[in-house]
Amino acid sequence: MSCENEYSGDFIPEAIIGERVETFVMEAFDPCDCGFCEVDFEEIQKAGKWTVLFFYPADFTFVCPTELADLASKHADLEKLGCEVISVSTDTKFVHLAWKTDERLLQDVKFKMAADPTGEVADFFGVYDPATGMALRGTFIINPDGILVSSEVNFYNVGRNADELLRKVEANVYLKDHPAEACPAKWTPGAKTLTPSEKLVGKVYEQLND
C-alpha cells in the first residue's frame, strides 16, 4: 500500500465532518478487469466525483460479503450520482483477488477493493482497531470539494444498509446544488425540503404539510 499523508496547509490529521479530507493513495484490486490498480483520492477529486469509502473488517469473513453484495446492488445508482465507490479493508490486494474469486456473494461487485494493510487510512477516518488490526464498519461520503459530509460507524457484528447509503448520497447531492435548503428525516428525491429561516421556527409541520 502507498498512503500519502502530508499534514500541512488546509489539511488536518484526522477526518472531521465538515472539514476537508487529506489526500491518500491505496493499492487496490479492480474486479472489472481482474487486475491491480491504485485508488488516488486526489485524482477522484480532480474528476469532480463524490467518494464513498466503505470500510469493513476483513475478507473471508461472514457479515462482510453480505455488505459488499448489498453495496454492489446499489453501485450503478451511486455511479449515476457521480460517485466513486471504494471498499477498504486491511487485507492486501492479493487477498481481495482471492476472495472475489471464491465468494459467490461477490459475483456482482464491480467497485474497486482497496488495500490498507498498515491501517493508515482507516486510522485517519477513525475506524482502525489496533487490538485486532482491522477496520470497523465505517462508511464515509466525501463531496467533490473534498469535504466529509457523512460518517457512519458500526461495530463488527452489525451490517449496514445500502438503501440508506444511497438515500444519504441523494440528499447530499441535492443539497450541494440547493445549499439554502435542508432535508428532513427519511427525505427522498422529489419529497419536500425545508428552508430554514425565522419564519420556519415552530412551523415545520405547516411547511411539510401545506
Indicate which residues carry an active-site annotation: 64
Sheet of 83-89: strands edge to edge?
Answer: 35-40, 25-30, 112-115, 83-89, 50-55, 137-142, 148-154
Contact assessment for residue 56 and residue 89, using Cβ atoms and an 8 Å cutoff: yes
CB-based contacts of 159: which residues, under 8 Å, 6+ apart? 63, 66, 67, 70, 137
Contact assessment for residue 21 and residue 15, using Cβ atoms and an 8 Å cutoff: yes
CB-based contacts of 126: which residues, under 8 Å, 6+ apart? 14, 15, 138, 153
Q: How far apart are CA 65 and CA 103, in angstroms?
A: 8
The single-letter DSSP state of residue 62 is S
